[in-house]
């Protein structure tokens, strides 16, 4: 792959550990994912630290609010030079269209990704909140709505990546969490795949967290994953 597809999830609350991970991994990986937990602890300082080490940030805040609020948030994110940011597709067409319109008017603009169905959820979980039908069908429906609303791509599990690519085209960006090297524990993820499986299925970027961050040598594990993808 021409673009480095590996995004490392920074999901710890230990500032020194976070900084050490960024320091050692920045020359190796394509970007870092900053989720709600570390962002609420350290805010834009963490984003700025990643940028100071020459790397990029996928801001994983899963924005979901009324259209004006989300559009204003996207403007703030764009001005902080964030590479990617995501928002829930269940926020609806108007919310996504407003976010896309704001992003197009700013430079540099972040990639806007729609969150379809969380990788911790299965069909039974969706039914509990009143959403009927198989996960795969709902993910594809939400991905199609995201594309129609002007988003650049979606966050979806490796299991749905192939169907999304076939239905919406190879230029529609697919970011897959729930990626685990062979033999790694699943933790709270349910719909998972190996890095190679995810990329073959159609993922442009893969998100890996604990298998890299909790390894004795995180950079070595990251290099092994990238070598597997060549």
Structure confidence by residue, pLDDT tens digits, 83-124: 999 999 999 999 999 999 999 998 889 999 999 988 788 889
In a domain, 1, yes or no: no
pLDDT score for 189:
47
User: Is residue 11 within 8 Å of 213, Cβ to Cβ?
Assistant: yes
| Within a domain: 37 | yes
Is 165 in the active site? Answer: no
Annotated active-site residue in 62, 162, 170, 190: 62
Residues of the chain with pLDDT under 50: 1, 186-187, 189, 191
Assign residue 195 the CATH number of its domain.
3.20.20.70
Largest Cα separation within the chain, whole Å, is 46
Domain range holding 134?
Answer: 6-229
For residue 3, count CB atoms less than 10 angstroms from its CB and return exposed for 0-12, middle for 13-18, buried for 19 or more.
Answer: exposed
What pLDDT, on the 0 to 100 scale, is given for residue 1?
46
pTM (predicted TM-score): 0.91
Residue-level pLDDT at 183: 54
The per-residue pLDDT for 29 is 98
Name the domain count of the chain: 1
């Amino acid at each position: 792959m021409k673009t480095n597809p590996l995004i490392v999830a920074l999901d710890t609350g230990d500032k020194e550990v976070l900084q050490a991970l960024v320091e050692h991994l920045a020359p190796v990986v394509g970007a870092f994912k900053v989720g709600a937990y570390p962002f609420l602890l350290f805010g834009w300082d963490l984003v700025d630290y990643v940028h100071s080490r020459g790397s990029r940030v996928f801001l994983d805040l899963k924005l979901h609010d009324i259209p004006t609020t989300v559009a204003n948030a996207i403007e703030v994110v764009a001005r902080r030079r964030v590479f990617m940011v995501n928002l829930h597709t269940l926020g609806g067409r108007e919310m996504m269209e407003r976010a896309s319109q704001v992003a197009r008017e700013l430079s540099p603009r972040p990639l806007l990704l729609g969150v379809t169905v969380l990788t911790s959820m299965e069909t039974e979980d969706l039914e509990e909140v009143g959403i009927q039908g198989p996960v795969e069908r709902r993910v594809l429906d939400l991905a199609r709505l995201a594309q129609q609303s002007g988003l650049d791509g979606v966050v979806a599990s490796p299991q749905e990546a192939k169907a999304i690519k076939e239905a919406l085209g190879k230029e529609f960006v697919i970011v897959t969490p729930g990626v685990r090297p062979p033999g790694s524990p699943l933790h709270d993820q349910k719909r998972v795949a190996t890095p190679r499986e995810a990329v073959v299925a159609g993922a442009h970027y893969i998100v890996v967290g604990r298998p890299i961050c909790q390894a004795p040598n995180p950079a070595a594990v990251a290099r092994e994953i990238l070598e597997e993808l060549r």
